[in-house]
């Protein structure tokens, strides 16, 4: 029977110890301190706001964590249908012994206190990692992160580069770059030296990937040194008001320089493609970004051809781009499919997108999932969601439709959930 | 068992009394007079024509209704696979005691006569409403509709504004506007006054929504009074031949003025996004429109930000836009998902699109379905189609995949089928 | 039970004798000579290359077929998940008595020898046709193909026209055209005469379709004789370096001329829309093409309106275009849906796309499937894949969801698998 089959496969996948290849964890405060850290996740604040809760009630300055939780719980009724709400209930059940189906104005306080007690334990983060079968998580580090004070074999550095590519004309960003590298950027040579310095620093700290998120209209291209020099001069003179043409040339130049450094240092370059920032500028914190789904990976053609030795794990924001992603990973040796990002991280899209990848992309070139979490507690419900869907696909489309043995199907699941993370990110030295 | 579960959920949803939030019903002749009114629906004429029936046979002037039905029935063989054909059979069975699987040249006449007898009854429209569990239906009213002669609590006015936005340069449209409002539009002030007069008139007649269909390339934007004035002057002088630039500026100005009036009068503004008119100009009546699916809701960014107090129930023509719709409704408090429109109103797209919305958009911001019908008989098979799909999603993706109780799943169905129509359209006064 | 139902429907569909309406078979060497012909199919070479196998190992000059197979088999581990790999195993089992689940370095040689023995039989091609229930296959013939030496009732000519439309500025193509037609193209009149000559020749050889693949940015349009003349003069003077504007005008003119000839000769015009050639120029042979999915059939509006008497069977490369295809086929009498092409020829996309067509496009206007194969052995696993998916759709969406009788469902399957091929391609004389 199909449901029992799904459950058997799920249990096998569930026993795996995992590495989470993309999160926003702060390694100095990886787990939640109160339930407010969990309910403050933008999925809850933005959905509560979307359903009518004023931003001012959520983001009131100096708001006490417990009061914040109370207010949010009172506004979660309209989002109980969402998969994000199901993550919340699953965390409450798995970590804090919650037994209800809903967290309500009537029962939230008991839960809050139970969570507080657990979270106050000295080794709460370790407990969460252990209970979640997590061995390590990738971070998202600003280029000027000192990367000190934590175990980089558990909290694995990843160099995030959005600021370098898109905000280098801002004085504050250049100041941070100078502080981090000792290099003042005034021309192409100093820019190259500064970037190289960052890569060297990160490499010494066990960095395992370079990463960036990109707007829909970005097209990587090789830019000549002369053109880049003009752009650097222009922002020196004009600051952030320099022309769109200079802005684009500089972004392309820095991006290309990053790819060159990835090649030199043997680092995968995670591309997260398709987000428009601040579309709803009056939205809550981190709840303002949306997208234009009219993008194509053809925009990355020059890049993929120019860097055959760099692996590009790629996430796309919209499910309509997933077929292109599967096709490009099927053809280009250096293109790898990477997880289910943000607005595509809901069951209907995951099911459709993962199924399409599994049947057409080499199994070794698919990173099944990452949590994208800000606090450790979220890995458990998010990975469980993915594993349930993966088990469903393996049961229905492989064991039933294609007559595979169960163990063969489970092995494919193990590969996309764990082995490929090892092979793609961890195998260098 | 999953099928029994689906059926139980379907039966619960089926017992709801509904309001249909978008139709093209003529309140003075809401139900069909003969089977020709049903078979004359563009879905049948355009599909029969697509399968080879000449337009001239369908649209022959002075054609007797019975002969029209005979001709169409003879040409329905090739479309018996379509879901539209299944609506026809379901209507014949539910309303007219038809017992066959197919309506054929051999059995149509009996059906025609049975239907004629039923339809000739004095209270046929009321019978249809009652048998369809319908309490009220929204209309699609031209801006100059007198809104007289019917019960506006059953046939609820909705101000349709395509002509105002896209055809105001035509003399006939301006004449109608002058007749309806007593205002001759010669500048920005008179244009504002005319629109305001329409809203006041409709508000007095229990209007519950303003609505418009929009081509793929339309991008709402605030246009200055000065620019709008130039456009108004230009069409005064040059008529419909005025420039594309004036045309666009005027359309944007009128559209923005409508949104301002929606805000002032507390009306939701239904946006039906993505249709290209007359793509197949030689097609049958209402069977000429198609679309370019390369649109994005990013085009509506300025609008959604500018009118936080206006609710925008949004329909998209192509399923590839559905994820954007779900994401924008998840982030913007004033964006609501609205039904499954036209070319996306077939089971495969409904199932995929509805499932994606249900798991990511607050439950209070989803209007499940509207019939878009021209004659009352169509609500029954169309809503039944939707309810069967909704029951399937709730059974498989909620009760089975996410372990929900059946009653909780049914309650979610009730919300999107009925409660949200009340809350979004009917709660103002 | 749904699985048994699927199997019953599958068996019925499986008993049909088929005509494959699009292949790349060489009629003078239709079947494989060794397993290297099968493993040399670009799906295997490009996927093995994508998973890490160097192109040089695959395309080494003078490579012995057996050694080529050995190398490829050693590199297939990473692609055992793909549906393309399942075709390979199914062929090995069906044609060569292979009994394993995987073809490995340990068992491939036995298989190679068994295949070689079978393939060496005099009537191997006939055996494959017979075992595959294939009555005839369409070819893909260059415009200058002599069409001699084979039975055109089994190997049915199809005039492929990419070179004429997109490469006529190249001297080698014009030379071929002159040789084939006796006409030297120097103006619009000679160009028309040359094309007409090709059509006459092909018509005498039982041609049943004209076909072309088109890049995403192509938009057919009527071009005046004067404009075309300028382009012809320009390429005479400037060769392939003539301007993009001339290139586009000439491509549009030739394309339009082909459509006129299709009308005159009663030939369907297969359009395969959406491919970008040589995106990964360093890829293996035939493994370099990808696509930009941002296309719309609105680009074909003028064409569909201008040639109401020409049937256009249309394939789209990306599944995101499938809804437009279904909608255009639902509205335009001359637009027909045609198979599942290339990157959309994998189960998840086939299931979604076929289901959407079946419920909205007249049954007579859907060509279910073609194999696109280069060697006859591939029809069997590819059609079986499609038939399994079609049986699943018919079982779940028609018999279960819509309460159809099984025989009615099977009949719909028969129509899209066979009858429409007869009616659309074979009925002219």
Q: Which of C303, C323, C365 to mutate to test the interface with B (most CBs of B within 10 A)?
A: C323
pLDDT in the model for residue A429: 47
DSSP A59: S
Instruction: Describe the crossing of helices A65-74 and A108-120 by its angle, rounded to 10 degrees.
Output: 140
Subunit contact A83:B359, Cβ cutoff 8 A? yes
Query: In this model, does residue C1 exceed pLDDT 70?
Result: no
pLDDT in the model for residue A1: 62
Subunit contact B355:A348, Cβ cutoff 8 A? yes
Nearest CB among A101, A292, A347 relative to B397 is that of A347
Nearest CB among A51, A346, A392 relative to B362 is that of A51
- Region A349-373 average pLDDT: 98
Please check whether residue B2 lies inside any domain of the structure: no
Subunit contact C298:B276, Cβ cutoff 8 A? yes
Please check whether residue C2 lies inside any domain of the structure: no
Residue A428 banded pLDDT, cuts 50, 70, 90:
low
Please check whether residue A46 lies inside any domain of the structure: yes
Q: Which residue of C has its CA nearest to B52?
A: C333
- The C-alpha atoms of residue A98 and residue A106 are separated, in whole angstroms, by 13
Q: Is the ipTM of this complex over 0.90?
A: yes
Query: In this model, does residue A162 exceed pLDDT 60?
Result: yes
Please check whether residue A316 lies inside any domain of the structure: no
Residues in C touching A294 (Cβ below 8 Å): 294
- Region B135-164 average pLDDT: 98
Boundary residue ending a domain (B71, B91, B122): B122
Contacts of C74 (CB under 8 A, 6+ apart): C105
- What SS3 state is found at A380? helix
Domain that holds residue C102: 28-124
Residue B57 sits in a domain whose CATH number is: 1.10.2020.10
Please check whether residue B16 lies inside any domain of the structure: no
- Asked whether residue B215 falls in the same domain as residue B343, the answer is yes
How far is C305 from chain B, CA to nearest CA, in Å? 7
Query: In this model, does residue A399 exceed pLDDT 80?
Result: yes
Please check whether residue C1 lies inside any domain of the structure: no
**DSSP H stretches of helix in C205-298:** 225-238, 244-265
Q: For chain C, give the mean pLDDT.
A: 97
User: Angle CA(C157)–CA(C163)–CA(C168) in degrees, nearest 5?
Assistant: 135
Subunit contact A388:B397, Cβ cutoff 8 A? no
Boundary residue ending a domain (C71, C98, C124): C124
Residue A266 banded pLDDT, cuts 50, 70, 90:
very high
Subunit contact A293:B323, Cβ cutoff 8 A? yes
Residue A187 banded pLDDT, cuts 50, 70, 90:
very high
Contacts of C425 (CB under 8 A, 6+ apart): C19, C21, C138, C208, C209, C268
Please check whether residue C265 lies inside any domain of the structure: yes
Burial status of residue A74 (CB atoms within 10 A of its CB: 0-12, 13-18, 19 or more): middle
pLDDT in the model for residue B391: 98
Q: Give rounded-to-5 percent helix, strand, coil for chain C.
A: 55, 10, 35
Total number of domains in chain A: 1
Subunit contact B294:A290, Cβ cutoff 8 A? no
Judge contact between B416 and B390, C-beta under 8 A. yes
Please check whether residue B282 lies inside any domain of the structure: yes
Q: How far is C-alpha B86 from the chain's CA centre?
A: 20
- Asked whether residue B111 falls in the same domain as residue B133, the answer is no
Place of tokens 């419909």: B240
Structure tokens at A393: 């696909």
- Closest C-alpha among B288, B286, B299, B290 to residue B255: B299
Beta strand residue intervals within C37-179, DSSP E: 134-138, 155-156, 158-160
Query: In this model, does residue C405 exceed pLDDT 90?
Result: yes
Contacting B with CB below 8 Å, chain A residues are 3, 46-47, 49-52, 78-84, 86, 101, 276, 279-283, 287-294, 318-320, 343-344, 346-349, 352, 388, 392
- Asked whether residue B297 falls in the same domain as residue B371, the answer is yes
Burial status of residue C26 (CB atoms within 10 A of its CB: 0-12, 13-18, 19 or more): middle
Q: Which residue of B has its CA nearest to A386?
A: B401
Q: Which of A45, A50, A216 to mutate to test the interface with B (most CBs of B within 10 A)?
A: A50
Residue C427 banded pLDDT, cuts 50, 70, 90:
confident
Query: In this model, does residue A189 exceed pLDDT 60?
Result: yes
- Asked whether residue B307 falls in the same domain as residue B321, the answer is yes
pLDDT in the model for residue B428: 65
- The C-alpha atoms of residue B145 and residue C388 are separated, in whole angstroms, by 54
- Asked whether residue C102 falls in the same domain as residue C179, the answer is no
- Asked whether residue C182 falls in the same domain as residue C60, the answer is no
- The C-alpha atoms of residue B193 and residue B187 are separated, in whole angstroms, by 10
Judge contact between A294 and C294, C-beta under 8 A. yes
Query: In this model, does residue C183 exceed pLDDT 50?
Result: yes
Q: What values do phi and psi take at C158, rounded to 5?
A: -140, 125
- What SS3 state is found at C160? strand
Long-range contacts of B170-176 (CB under 8 A, 24+ apart): B170/B239, B170/B240, B171/B239, B176/B142, B176/B143, B176/B144
Judge contact between B393 and B416, C-beta under 8 A. no
Long-range contacts of B414-419 (CB under 8 A, 24+ apart): B414/B12, B414/B13, B414/B16, B415/B363, B415/B364, B415/B366, B416/B358, B416/B363, B416/B366, B416/B367, B416/B368, B416/B369, B416/B390, B417/B13, B417/B16, B417/B18, B417/B368, B417/B369, B417/B387, B417/B390, B418/B16, B418/B17, B418/B18, B418/B19
The sign of the torsion formed by the CA atoms of B151, B152, B153, B157 equals: positive
pLDDT in the model for residue B234: 87
Place of tokens 């000549």: A224
Q: Residue B138 pairs with which residues in a beta bridge?
A: B156
Q: Which of B327, B337, B364, B396 to mutate to test the interface with A (most CBs of A within 10 A)?
A: B327
Contacts of B243 (CB under 8 A, 6+ apart): B234
Query: In this model, does residue B241 exceed pLDDT 80?
Result: no
Strand bridging mode B134-138 / B155-156: parallel
Kindly report the number of other CB atoms within 10 A of residue C215's CB atom.
17
Q: How far is C-alpha A394 from the chain's CA centre?
A: 25
Residue B252 sits in a domain whose CATH number is: 3.20.20.140
pLDDT in tens, A56-69: 999 999 999 999 99
Place of tokens 């007289």: B148
- The C-alpha atoms of residue A363 and residue A342 are separated, in whole angstroms, by 23
Contacts of C375 (CB under 8 A, 6+ apart): C25, C30, C31, C32, C37, C38, C41
Query: In this model, does residue C240 exceed pLDDT 80?
Result: no
- The C-alpha atoms of residue A93 and residue A115 are separated, in whole angstroms, by 11
Boundary residue ending a domain (B67, B101, B122): B122
Residues in A touching B405 (Cβ below 8 Å): 101
- The C-alpha atoms of residue A41 and residue A24 are separated, in whole angstroms, by 11
How far is C66 from chain A, CA to nearest CA, in Å? 24
DSSP string for A228-274: HHHHHHHHHHHGGGS-HHHHHHHHHHHHHHHHHHHHHHT--EEEEE-
How far is B293 from chain C, CA to nearest CA, in Å? 7
Q: What values do phi and psi take at B335, rounded to 5?
A: -105, 130
- The C-alpha atoms of residue C291 and residue B347 are separated, in whole angstroms, by 29
- Region A286-293 average pLDDT: 98
- Asked whether residue C400 falls in the same domain as residue C257, the answer is yes
DSSP string for A270-294: EEEE-EETTSSTTSPTT---EE---
pLDDT in tens, C286-320: 999 999 999 999 999 999 999 999 999 999 999 99
Judge contact between B284 and B45, C-beta under 8 A. yes
- The C-alpha atoms of residue A11 and residue A5 are separated, in whole angstroms, by 10
pLDDT in the model for residue C250: 96
Structure tokens at C420: 């429409």
Contacts of A66 (CB under 8 A, 6+ apart): A34, A36, A112
- Asked whether residue C264 falls in the same domain as residue C387, the answer is yes
Nearest CB among A301, A323, A333 relative to C320 is that of A323
- Region C76-105 average pLDDT: 97
Residue B311 banded pLDDT, cuts 50, 70, 90:
very high
Instruction: Provide the whole-model pTM.
Output: 0.98
- Closest C-alpha among C208, C330, C220, C223 to residue C273: C220
pLDDT in the model for residue B32: 98
The sign of the torsion formed by the CA atoms of B97, B100, B104, B107 equals: negative
- Asked whether residue C195 falls in the same domain as residue C331, the answer is yes
Subunit contact A356:C346, Cβ cutoff 8 A? yes
Above pLDDT 90, what percent of chain B?
A: 96
- Asked whether residue C111 falls in the same domain as residue C226, the answer is no
- Closest C-alpha among A11, A135, A34, A5 to residue A375: A34
Above pLDDT 90, what percent of chain C?
A: 96
Q: Which residue of B has its CA nearest to A287?
A: B331
How far is B383 from chain C, CA to nearest CA, in Å? 14
pLDDT in tens, B316-347: 999 999 999 999 999 999 999 999 999 999 99
Query: In this model, does residue C429 exceed pLDDT 70?
Result: no
pLDDT in tens, C339-387: 999 999 999 999 999 999 999 999 999 999 999 999 999 999 999 999 9
- Asked whether residue C280 falls in the same domain as residue C404, the answer is yes
Q: Which of A312, A330, A344 to mutate to test the interface with C (most CBs of C within 10 A)?
A: A330
- Asked whether residue C119 falls in the same domain as residue C176, the answer is no
Q: Which residue of C has its CA nearest to A409?
A: C81
């Amino acid at each position: 029977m199909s449901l029992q089959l799904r459950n058997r496969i799920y249990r096998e996948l569930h026993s795996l110890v995992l590495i989470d290849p993309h999160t926003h964890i702060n390694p100095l405060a990886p787990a939640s301190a109160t339930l407010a850290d969990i309910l403050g996740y933008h999925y809850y604040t933005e959905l509560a706001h979307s359903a009518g809760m004023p931003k001012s009630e959520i983001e009131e300055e100096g708001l006490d964590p417990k009061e914040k939780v109370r207010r949010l719980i009172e506004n979660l009724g309209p989002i109980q249908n969402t998969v994000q709400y199901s993550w919340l209930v699953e965390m409450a059940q798995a970590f804090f012994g919650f037994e209800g189906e809903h967290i309500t104005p009537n029962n939230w306080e008991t839960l809050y206190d139970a969570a507080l007690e657990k979270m106050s334990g000295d080794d709460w983060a370790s407990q969460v990692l252990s209970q979640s079968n997590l061995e390590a998580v990738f971070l998202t580090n600003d280029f000027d992160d000192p990367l000190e004070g934590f175990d980089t074999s558990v909290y694995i550095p990843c160099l995030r580069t959005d600021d370098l590519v898109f905000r280098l004309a801002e004085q504050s960003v250049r100041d941070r770059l100078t502080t981090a590298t000792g290099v003042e950027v005034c021309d192409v040579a100093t820019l190259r030296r500064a970037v190289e310095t960052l890569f060297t620093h990160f490499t010494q700290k066990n960095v395992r990937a370079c990463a960036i998120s990109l707007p829909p209209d970005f097209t990587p291209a090789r830019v000549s040194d002369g053109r880049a020099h003009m752009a650097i001069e222009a922002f020196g003179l004009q600051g952030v008001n320099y022309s769109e043409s200079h802005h684009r040339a500089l972004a392309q130049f820095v991006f290309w320089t990053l790819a060159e450094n990835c090649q030199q240092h043997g680092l995968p370059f995670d591309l997260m493609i398709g987000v428009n920032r601040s579309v709803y500028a009056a939205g809550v914190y981190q709840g303002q970004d949306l997208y234009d789904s009219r993008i194509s990976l053809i925009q990355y053609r020059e890049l993929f051809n120019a860097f055959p030795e760099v692996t590009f794990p790629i996430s796309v924001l919209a499910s309509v781009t997933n077929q292109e992603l599967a096709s490009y990973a099927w053809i280009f040796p250096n293109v790898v499919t990477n997880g289910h990002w943000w607005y595509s991280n809901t069951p209907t899209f995951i099911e459709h997108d993962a199924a399409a990848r599994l049947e057409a992309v080499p199994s070794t070139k698919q990173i099944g999932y990452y949590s994208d979490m800000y606090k450790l507690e979220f890995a458990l419900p998010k990975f469980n969601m993915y594993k349930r869907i993966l088990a469903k696909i393996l049961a229905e489309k492989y064991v039933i439709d294609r007559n595979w043995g169960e163990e063969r199907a489970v092995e494919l699941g193990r590969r996309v959930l764990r082995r490929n993370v090892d092979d793609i990110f961890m195998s260098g030295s």
